[in-house]
Structure 1
Amino acid sequence: MQPNGLDILGCVARIDAMQSVNAAVFILRENLFRSEKERLKNVRNA
């Protein structure tokens, strides 16, 4: 059975969306980590 183009497009779109979500989560975690480090540094200096 030949997969139709729509199935392939849907699959690619899903993979794309997942990668975007992963990238967003990664960026959010990086920002949280950085701001937490800054906060700890400020607490220590206070």
Structure 2
Amino acid sequence: MADNSYHRQVCVLDADVAGKDVLLKISETNLPEFQKYQNLLSLTPLERIP
């Protein structure tokens, strides 16, 4: 099933969130791990990311 607005309405799913709005949806529980991930990306050269 394709991920589109029609199927999201039929299946009663939340609207697709993209861009910077995704950052606002991160829960406080997951925020520390997300911050570690951001730090890893900013400190690691691209060729070293698994």
TM range (shorter): 0.3 to 0.5
Q: Tell which structure's C-alpha radius of gyration is larger.
A: 1
Name which structure has the greater RCO, CA cutoff 8 Å, separation 6+: 2
When normalised by structure 1's length, the TM-score is 0.35
When normalised by structure 2's length, the TM-score is 0.33
